[in-house]
Amino acid sequence: MAEPRNHGPSRHTSSPVLTWPEGSRIAFVAMAAALVAWRPPALAAHLRWIGWASILAGGFPIFAEAAENLRARRMTMELSMTLALVCAAAIGEFFTALVITLFVLVAEALEGLTVDRGRHALAELLQVLPQTVRVRRGAGEERVGLDQVRIGDLVLVNPGGRLPVDGRVEAGHSFVDAAAITGEPVPVERQAGDWVHAGSINQTGSLDVRAERIGPDTTFGRIVAAVEQAEQTRAPIQKLADRLAGYLVYFALACAAATWLVTGNLRSTISVVIVAGACGIAAGTPLAVLGGIGRCARLGIIIKGGVYLEALGRIDTVVLDKTGTLTFGFPEVVAIEPESGHTPEAVLGCAAMAERRSEHPLGGAILRQAGVLGLAVEEPAQFQALPGQGVRALGAVGQVLVGNRTHFQAHGIAFNHPQQAGHPSATEILVALDGQPMGRVWVADRARGEARAAIQALQAMGVHTLLLTGDAAPAAAALGGELGIGGVEAGLLPEQKQERIADLRKRGRRVAMVGDGINDAPALMEAEVGIAMGSGADVTREAADVVLLGDDLMKLVEALRVARRMRKVIRQNFAGTLAVDGIGVGLAAFGWLNPLLAAFIHVASELAFILNATRLLPPHSKNNQ
Ligand code: ADP
Ligand code: MG
């Protein structure tokens, strides 16, 4: 039972094992119990003395903790067990007292091991950065520890290695897999001038990277910090568990007092104290939360706190943004319709100038198409983005306006064409030059491969789905139909998205919002749980409570499943502890449980609840780089 756990092939991080003092203490108490049970005639006269000594020596950590809890005025399992132990020994039941000591020691060691295992699983996940790094400083090349790399160092990365810093490539050419950081699913080509992220995998060639952000300032470092923080903040359910555990110990003591008053039987009284204690709640809950967060992290879902995992388990409505969330956010220009007097190239050229500084995926589509057609794109002298509407820019050609109809109405420019001529699922982008309509560009984006399956899975779980988008109704409705989404609302400005979510929450819905863009950040904050796509804007990832690395919507479904399982496990443990305590106390009060049996029931049920919680721990990873 108390063997070190086997943690498979991890060589770089030390696996949790039973510590020396723990192991020898357990062995010592077991031998003392055997000796007391055997009652060798030669020692018969000294048994009382031997019993007390071994209880004090073996149970020392329990007593120490009990004393600390007493000082802090906290009612805990250690306190009640100490009381029970001392009482058992006082009436001469040394064997019982020693076995109880043994059980408590074993249970605590096992609990420690399982919690360590949870921590270990998280740590392992996060320790993927290389520990030594090759840098070129001045003329020479040296190998230094990761913590000795400084901003401005030129870091040399071989193919197959993880990048240790955020920075810009100075030399070399390679494909880099950044799925774990930004969520971009396919490796991207990187060469001089390109930005690379710590934690991504350098695949094909070697790269020389100028370090610009190191350690905790890298994107990877921030993810690590978020997970570590998550581990430390206590979810409300944990606080509830602690409080409940405290009450149950009081309950046990009250029942014991009543038993003593009514029956006057000291053994029954001790049994009552021993059988109750409620550690299943207190022990299982942090482990379940830790396990849930760890399991999610392993799946590429960063949960920024137990609170959010708990909230996620209660979500009944998922609101999704369209561009970049349900679609790839890599739209393509499918048609250009100039007004008379303009060429398609002129329309695209003006639009590209205006979008040059834009971060919006639609702007990206226009710039890519301008690149394909070989147009030289001028740098705008002035640029302004209006989230949910479009952009305005001033260039050598004049004042250019690009965006949707709301944007144009706000600027008093009228377009006479009906909205959806010929391109039902594409988004219409209007372009105007110096207040005059110039033409429109149609841009279409493909739905993510897994989007339909994810929506269906959510609905099968009884979760409402709703698409809120700033895009025009025809394109939104087309996508909504294709994916089978529960509801579609189009033409919304960012603050209207936020209002809709506030409204849903007011009507009692528990809402999670998934988005990727800067314009989604207010809505993410408004939702009970804000979820950002990994490849989304930095602000959005910061504003979110949950980040889906790898951009896979199925992971959203997975996260909901893990969260629900966590809540279920914790509820099972709550109910189980209450049942065991209630029934156990009843039996003990009537004298049907002797102290030994009571101790066994207590410890066995506690272990069962801990094991129940370990089911949530992530499986051991096989591909440790
Ligand atoms: P979504 O809610 O689908 O993510 P946004 O709120 O980002 O969409 O944008 C809503 C609409 O605003 C887009 O469909 C587009 O019509 C217009 N728009 C926003 N930004 C731009 C831009 N940079 N260029 C052109 N149109 C834009
Ligand atoms: Mg978006």
> Which of the following is catalytic: 153, 321, 520, 551?
321
Burial 367-390 (b: 16+ CB within 10 A, else e): bebbeeeebebbebeebebbbbbb
Q: Which residues contact 416 (CB under 8 A, 6 or more apart)?
A: none
User: What pLDDT, on the 0 to 100 scale, is given for residue 370?
Assistant: 96
Give the DSSP H/E element, type plus range, for residue 372: helix 361-372
Q: Residue 278: helix, strand or coil by DSSP?
A: coil
Atom of ligand 1 nearest to the CA of 361: 23
- Supply 34's token pair: 């055997």
Q: Which of 121, 99, 462, 505 is closest to 293 using CA atoms?
A: 121
Give the DSSP H/E element, type plus range, for residue 195: strand 195-196
Q: What is the pTM of this model?
A: 0.77
> Where does residue 412 fall: left (phi above 0), alpha (psi -120 to 50 degrees), or beta otherwise?
left
Give the DSSP H/E element, type plus range, for residue 452: helix 451-460
Q: For a ligand 1 pocket test, name from 319, 360, 383, 440 the mutation site with the most ligand atoms within 8 angstroms of its C-beta.
A: 360
> What are 449-487's pLDDT values in tens digits?
899 999 999 999 999 999 999 888 988 999 999 999 999
Q: Are 58 and 29 in contact (CB under 8 A)?
A: yes
> What are 348-394's pLDDT values in tens digits?
999 999 999 998 889 999 999 999 999 999 999 999 999 889 999 99
* HSE toward the beta carbon, residue 354, CA cutoff 13 A: 29
Q: For residue 231, name the pLDDT band (cuts at 50, 70, 90).
A: low
> What are 479-501's pLDDT values in tens digits?
999 999 999 999 998 899 999 99
Q: Residue 269: helix, strand or coil by DSSP?
A: helix
Q: Which of 338, 311, 364, 272 is closest to 566 using CA atoms?
A: 311
Q: Are 448 and 455 in contact (CB under 8 A)?
A: no
Q: For a ligand 1 pocket test, name from 323, 350, 518, 524 the mutation site with the most ligand atoms within 8 angstroms of its C-beta.
A: 323
User: What pLDDT, on the 0 to 100 scale, is given for residue 623?
Assistant: 41
Classify burial at 351, counting beta carbons within 10 Å of its beta carbon; exposed 0-12, middle 13-18, buried 19 or more. Answer: buried
Q: Please tell me if the CB atom of residue 369 comes closer than 6 angstroms to any atom of ligand 1.
A: no
Residue type present at position 184: E
Q: Residue 444: helix, strand or coil by DSSP?
A: strand
- Is pLDDT at 227 greater than 80 in this prediction? no
The CA distances from residue 515 to 180, 312, 493, in Å, are 18, 16, 14
Q: Please tell me if the CB atom of residue 323 comes closer than 6 angstroms to any atom of ligand 1.
A: yes
Q: How far apart are CA 48 and CA 33, in angstroms?
A: 12
Q: Which residues contact 400 (CB under 8 A, 6 or more apart)?
A: 350, 351, 353, 354, 380, 392, 393, 394, 431, 432, 433
User: What pLDDT, on the 0 to 100 scale, is given for residue 403?
Assistant: 96
Q: Are 572 and 612 in contact (CB under 8 A)?
A: yes
Give the DSSP H/E element, type plus range, for residue 624: none
